[in-house]
Amino acid sequence: MNEHVIEKLKWAVRNVPDFPKPGIIFKDITPILSDPLLFELAVECFVEKNKALSPDKICAIEARGFIFGSAVAYVLGIGLIPIRKKGKLPFKTHQVAYDLEYGQAEIEMHVDAISEGESVVLIDDLLATGGTAAAASQLISKAGGKLLQTQFLIELSFLKGRENKLAGIPVHSFIHL
Protein backbone atom coordinates (compact mmCIF):
# COMPACT_ATOMS: atom_id res chain seq x y z
CA MET A 1 0.00 0.00 0.00
CA ASN A 2 1.36 3.41 -0.81
CA GLU A 3 2.43 5.97 1.78
CA HIS A 4 -0.41 8.34 0.87
CA VAL A 5 -2.99 5.73 1.90
CA ILE A 6 -1.16 4.95 5.13
CA GLU A 7 -0.98 8.66 6.00
CA LYS A 8 -4.74 9.06 5.40
CA LEU A 9 -5.42 6.17 7.75
CA LYS A 10 -2.92 7.40 10.31
CA TRP A 11 -4.51 10.85 10.50
CA ALA A 12 -7.95 9.30 11.04
CA VAL A 13 -6.87 7.49 14.23
CA ARG A 14 -8.30 9.42 17.16
CA ASN A 15 -6.41 9.76 20.44
CA VAL A 16 -8.62 9.37 23.51
CA PRO A 17 -6.75 10.38 26.68
CA ASP A 18 -7.22 8.51 29.96
CA PHE A 19 -9.11 5.57 28.47
CA PRO A 20 -9.59 2.90 29.74
CA LYS A 21 -7.65 4.27 32.72
CA PRO A 22 -5.68 7.41 33.60
CA GLY A 23 -2.39 7.78 31.75
CA ILE A 24 -3.41 5.66 28.76
CA ILE A 25 -3.92 7.29 25.36
CA PHE A 26 -6.34 4.97 23.55
CA LYS A 27 -5.97 4.72 19.78
CA ASP A 28 -9.56 4.84 18.49
CA ILE A 29 -10.12 3.35 15.03
CA THR A 30 -13.85 4.09 14.88
CA PRO A 31 -13.30 7.14 12.61
CA ILE A 32 -11.75 4.72 10.07
CA LEU A 33 -14.61 2.27 10.47
CA SER A 34 -17.31 4.90 10.08
CA ASP A 35 -15.87 6.32 6.84
CA PRO A 36 -16.57 3.89 3.97
CA LEU A 37 -13.53 4.98 1.94
CA LEU A 38 -11.12 4.76 4.89
CA PHE A 39 -12.54 1.40 5.94
CA GLU A 40 -12.12 0.10 2.39
CA LEU A 41 -8.53 1.37 2.29
CA ALA A 42 -7.72 -0.30 5.62
CA VAL A 43 -9.19 -3.63 4.51
CA GLU A 44 -7.38 -3.36 1.18
CA CYS A 45 -4.05 -2.98 3.02
CA PHE A 46 -4.61 -6.37 4.65
CA VAL A 47 -6.00 -7.97 1.49
CA GLU A 48 -3.03 -6.95 -0.65
CA LYS A 49 -0.56 -8.19 1.95
CA ASN A 50 -2.37 -11.53 2.22
CA LYS A 51 -2.70 -12.16 -1.50
CA ALA A 52 1.07 -12.57 -1.61
CA LEU A 53 1.08 -14.90 1.43
CA SER A 54 -1.83 -17.12 0.28
CA PRO A 55 -2.98 -18.30 3.73
CA ASP A 56 -5.50 -21.10 4.12
CA LYS A 57 -7.33 -19.19 6.87
CA ILE A 58 -7.36 -15.92 8.76
CA CYS A 59 -7.25 -15.95 12.57
CA ALA A 60 -8.68 -12.82 14.18
CA ILE A 61 -8.42 -11.67 17.78
CA GLU A 62 -11.51 -10.48 19.65
CA ALA A 63 -12.98 -7.94 19.12
CA ARG A 64 -11.58 -5.36 16.71
CA GLY A 65 -9.50 -7.99 14.93
CA PHE A 66 -12.83 -9.57 13.91
CA ILE A 67 -13.72 -6.43 11.95
CA PHE A 68 -10.69 -6.56 9.69
CA GLY A 69 -10.16 -10.31 9.75
CA SER A 70 -13.69 -11.14 8.60
CA ALA A 71 -13.54 -8.63 5.73
CA VAL A 72 -10.16 -9.98 4.59
CA ALA A 73 -11.29 -13.62 4.79
CA TYR A 74 -14.42 -12.76 2.80
CA VAL A 75 -12.51 -10.98 0.03
CA LEU A 76 -9.91 -13.77 -0.19
CA GLY A 77 -12.57 -16.50 -0.08
CA ILE A 78 -11.02 -18.30 2.89
CA GLY A 79 -12.15 -19.25 6.39
CA LEU A 80 -12.09 -17.08 9.50
CA ILE A 81 -11.06 -18.40 12.90
CA PRO A 82 -12.17 -16.35 15.92
CA ILE A 83 -9.80 -16.20 18.87
CA ARG A 84 -11.84 -15.22 21.89
CA LYS A 85 -11.67 -14.57 25.60
CA LYS A 86 -12.14 -17.62 27.81
CA GLY A 87 -15.70 -18.91 28.04
CA LYS A 88 -17.02 -17.30 24.84
CA LEU A 89 -16.75 -20.25 22.43
CA PRO A 90 -19.37 -23.05 22.54
CA PHE A 91 -17.28 -26.09 21.51
CA LYS A 92 -14.11 -27.75 22.85
CA THR A 93 -11.19 -25.35 22.84
CA HIS A 94 -7.45 -24.97 23.14
CA GLN A 95 -6.58 -22.32 25.74
CA VAL A 96 -3.53 -20.21 26.47
CA ALA A 97 -3.08 -18.00 29.55
CA TYR A 98 -0.89 -14.91 29.35
CA ASP A 99 0.16 -11.97 31.50
CA LEU A 100 -1.34 -8.50 31.32
CA GLU A 101 0.02 -5.36 32.92
CA TYR A 102 -2.46 -5.81 35.76
CA GLY A 103 -3.00 -9.58 35.96
CA GLN A 104 -3.68 -12.55 33.71
CA ALA A 105 -6.04 -13.35 30.87
CA GLU A 106 -6.86 -16.42 28.84
CA ILE A 107 -7.85 -16.78 25.20
CA GLU A 108 -9.14 -19.77 23.31
CA MET A 109 -9.87 -21.22 19.90
CA HIS A 110 -11.93 -24.25 18.85
CA VAL A 111 -9.87 -27.45 18.70
CA ASP A 112 -11.04 -28.16 15.14
CA ALA A 113 -10.52 -24.64 13.77
CA ILE A 114 -7.20 -25.42 12.09
CA SER A 115 -6.16 -28.66 10.43
CA GLU A 116 -2.60 -29.89 10.89
CA GLY A 117 -0.27 -27.91 8.60
CA GLU A 118 -2.78 -25.28 7.49
CA SER A 119 -1.23 -21.87 6.98
CA VAL A 120 -2.80 -18.92 8.76
CA VAL A 121 -2.33 -15.19 9.17
CA LEU A 122 -3.21 -13.59 12.50
CA ILE A 123 -4.96 -10.20 12.28
CA ASP A 124 -5.70 -7.61 14.96
CA ASP A 125 -6.23 -3.88 14.97
CA LEU A 126 -3.34 -2.87 17.22
CA LEU A 127 -0.02 -4.20 18.47
CA ALA A 128 0.90 -2.80 21.87
CA THR A 129 2.91 -5.01 24.25
CA GLY A 130 2.27 -8.10 22.13
CA GLY A 131 0.96 -10.36 24.89
CA THR A 132 -2.36 -11.22 23.27
CA ALA A 133 -0.81 -11.83 19.84
CA ALA A 134 1.92 -14.02 21.37
CA ALA A 135 -0.74 -16.09 23.16
CA ALA A 136 -2.76 -16.35 19.93
CA SER A 137 0.33 -17.57 18.08
CA GLN A 138 0.71 -20.26 20.76
CA LEU A 139 -2.90 -21.33 20.13
CA ILE A 140 -2.23 -21.60 16.39
CA SER A 141 0.85 -23.71 17.05
CA LYS A 142 -1.01 -25.89 19.57
CA ALA A 143 -3.63 -26.63 16.90
CA GLY A 144 -0.97 -27.61 14.36
CA GLY A 145 -1.24 -24.50 12.23
CA LYS A 146 1.61 -22.75 10.45
CA LEU A 147 1.64 -19.03 11.31
CA LEU A 148 2.77 -17.12 8.23
CA GLN A 149 2.57 -13.66 9.77
CA THR A 150 0.89 -11.49 12.39
CA GLN A 151 -0.64 -8.31 10.97
CA PHE A 152 -1.83 -5.14 12.65
CA LEU A 153 -3.38 -1.95 11.34
CA ILE A 154 -1.49 0.00 14.04
CA GLU A 155 1.69 -0.69 15.99
CA LEU A 156 2.67 1.28 19.07
CA SER A 157 6.40 0.92 18.38
CA PHE A 158 7.49 2.52 21.66
CA LEU A 159 6.01 -0.42 23.60
CA LYS A 160 8.34 -2.83 21.77
CA GLY A 161 5.81 -5.68 21.51
CA ARG A 162 7.42 -6.84 18.29
CA GLU A 163 10.82 -7.21 19.96
CA ASN A 164 9.68 -8.45 23.36
CA LYS A 165 6.69 -10.78 23.07
CA LEU A 166 6.72 -11.50 19.33
CA ALA A 167 10.45 -12.08 18.83
CA GLY A 168 10.90 -14.71 16.14
CA ILE A 169 7.35 -14.30 14.80
CA PRO A 170 6.89 -12.48 11.46
CA VAL A 171 5.12 -9.16 12.13
CA HIS A 172 3.72 -6.61 9.70
CA SER A 173 2.05 -3.34 10.74
CA PHE A 174 0.72 -0.68 8.40
CA ILE A 175 0.72 2.35 10.73
CA HIS A 176 3.55 2.95 13.22
CA LEU A 177 2.84 5.33 16.12
Strands 79-85 and 57-61, how do they pair?
parallel
Give the residue from 61, 70, 71 showing the smallest Cα distance to 138.
61
Class of domain 54-176: alpha beta
Task: Specify the 3-state DSSP secondary structure of 160.
Answer: coil
Mean pLDDT of 4-24: 95
Dihedral sign for Cα atoms in the order 163, 166, 168, 174: negative
Residues involved in catalysis: 64, 101
Q: Report the chain's mean pLDDT, rounded to a whole number.
A: 96
Total residue count of the chain as it appears in this document: 177
Characterise 111 by phi-psi region: left (phi > 0), alpha (psi -120 to 50), beta (else).
Answer: alpha
Q: Is the pLDDT of residue 6 over 90?
A: yes
pLDDT at 120: 98
Mean pLDDT of 154-164: 95
SS in 3 state form for 34-71? HCHHHHHHHHHHHHHHHHHHCCCEEEEECCHHHHHHHH
Question: What is the C-alpha separation between 109 and 145, in angstroms, rounded?
Answer: 12
CB contact at 8 A, 62 and 85: yes
pLDDT at 100: 76
pLDDT at 103: 75
**Percentage of the chain lying above the pLDDT 90 cut:** 93
Torsion, CA 45, CA 50, CA 52, CA 57, rounded to 10: -170
Question: What is the C-alpha separation between 160 and 157, in angstroms, rounded?
Answer: 5
Strands 93-100 and 103-110, how do they pair?
antiparallel
Q: Is the pLDDT of residue 136 over 80?
A: yes
Q: Determine which of 17-21, 68-72, 99-103, 141-145 has the lowest per-residue pLDDT on average.
A: 99-103
pLDDT digits (tens, 9 = 90+) for 107-132: 999 999 999 999 999 999 999 999 99
Mean pLDDT of 49-73: 97
pLDDT at 99: 85
pLDDT digits (tens, 9 = 90+) for 85-104: 999 999 999 999 998 766 78
Q: Is the pLDDT of residue 170 over 80?
A: yes
